[in-house]
Structure 1
Amino acid sequence: MGRPRLFDEDEAVQAACRVFWAKGYESASTEDLCAATGLGRSSIYNAFQSKAHLFRRALGHYVDTMTARQIAVLNEDGSSAAERVRRLLDIIIDGEMENRRKGYGSGCFTVNTITGLAAKDPLVAEILEKDLERRLFSLRSVINDGKRDGSISSHSDTQSLAWYLVAVIYGMRVAAQSGADAPALARIASTSTVALTC
């Protein structure tokens, strides 16, 4: 019978997530992960098998947390669908500015992974594809709500608008990474929400 683990595995995953987010998969060393988690090298590999497996756990934690927050905003009652979309974009802006202040990462962990690692690791690509489908589903739902309440144009294709919003969110995150400030991102958000009514 194996010895029980004397650490919180979820906390270790969250700590590793911050390292991978800030440095990326390739640049994050085992020493970095040990320092962040407070675990020795053997404990990390005994618990998580490999750096790649720990990265997938960290990415899964990140997308589950972030997407759940975004879906919750889109599902809020008491306001029009267009207002809920705008609130989501405002939260994206606030999050990017907060990340910049705290130095949590260079851009969005998801966007960085899509452009850097997804093509090389099919298991990472699978995590991202499932997350994207969850977000597209929630965006399609709010767009259909908007078509019913009149706040979003009924003339545009729902799936195309959902993809448009995904592209806007990714673009805002890349713009923030490139140095765009909050007012610049707010102008992008405003232009995007106006486009939903056309």
Structure 2
Amino acid sequence: MGRPKQFDPDAAVEQAMEVFWRKGYAATTPQDLVDAIGIGRGSLYNAFGSKHALFDKALRRYRDSQALALIEMLEGSGPVKDRLRKTLRFLVEMDLADPDQRGCMAVNVAAELAGTDEGATELVRRMFDRTEGAFRALVEEGQRAGEIASGRDAHAIGSLLLNTVVGLRLMVRVAEGPDRLSRVIDAMVDAL
């Protein structure tokens, strides 16, 4: 009898994240996960406990790798409106370049599981809160620099920018190209 195949749990979570991101939670079967990771079903359950436990790890991996990249772009240097426009365009270009047009995993999870999966809903809520906070901080920076009118409510604008990103990342899933999305980005940034 041969030795069981060894696998890297971190790589397995990464591969599972890709499957959940592409197919969604409900449509992902244990067999999909087994096939993607390259281990037996028993090893999958021994390592992660359940499909949902693996999903939770995959969603956290997404948060740690993908979602934080947006915040890092916003915290860069240069004029605030330029950074904002560049970040929004980057998201759209990245999503349009994806052959599966997966959009944002957090947005997808919110659309699929909000109200039915408390843990996933709370994790996505925290991701959105953090992103909104980064937008608010960017607006406040723009107000200090005189790029954005100081009388405007930075909290409200941060919420509006989060809503814009969620909408863009949903729209990209059915977009035929960047034109409509670019108009949204330009209108949003120019309105500030």
Give the Å deviation of 1:183.
2.2
Answering whether residue 181 of structure 2 is matched by residue 182 of structure 1, we say no
Structure 1: unaligned runs, 5 residues or longer: none
- Bigger shift: residues 4-13 or 53-62: 4-13
Deviation at 1:83, TM superposition (A): 1.1
* Structure 1 residues 148 and 5: alpha-carbon distance in aligned structure 2, compared to 1, 3 A threshold: farther
Aligned residue runs from structure 1 range 33-72, under 5 A: 33-72=33-72
Mapping of residues 149-164 of structure 1, within 5 Å: 149-164=145-160
Give the Å deviation of 1:125.
Answer: 1.3
> What is the alpha-carbon distance in structure 2 between the residues aligned to residue 68 and residue 5 of structure 1?
33
The reply on whether 1:83 has 2:82 as its aligned counterpart is: yes
Between stretches 150-159 and 53-62, larger displacement belongs to 150-159
Q: Distance in 2 between matches of 1:50 and 1:73?
A: 35
Structure 2: gaps of 5 or more residues: none
Deviation of 1:6 after TM superposition, in Å, equals 2.5
Partner of 1:165: 161
CA distance in 1, matches of 2:67, 2:140: 19
1: distance between equivalents of 2:64 and 2:156?
A: 24
Q: Secondary structure at 1:110's aligned position in 2? A: helix
Q: Secondary structure at the match of 1:27?
A: coil
Q: Hey, what's the Cα distance between the residues in 2 that align with 1:180 and 1:152? A: 33
Secondary structure in 1 aligned to 2:183?
helix
Q: Kindly tell me: are residues 130 and 43 of structure 1, through their superposed partners in 2, closer, same or farther at Cα, counting changes over 3 Å? A: same
TM-score where L is the length of structure 2: 0.93
2: CA distance between counterparts of 1:118 and 1:177? 19
- Number of residues of Structure 1 aligned to a counterpart in Structure 2: 190
In structure 1, what is the Cα distance between the partners aligned to 2:68 and 2:87?
12
Shift of 1:118: 2.5
Structure 1 residues 59-88: Cα deviation after superposition (integer angstroms, max 9, x where no partner): 1111221221111111112x1111111111
Percent identity of paired positions between Structure 1 and Structure 2: 32
- Alignment-derived partner of residue 73 in structure 2: 73
TM-score by length of 1: 0.90
Match of 2:144 in 1: 148
Shift of 1:5: 8.8
In structure 1, distance between residues paired with 2:169 and 2:13: 23
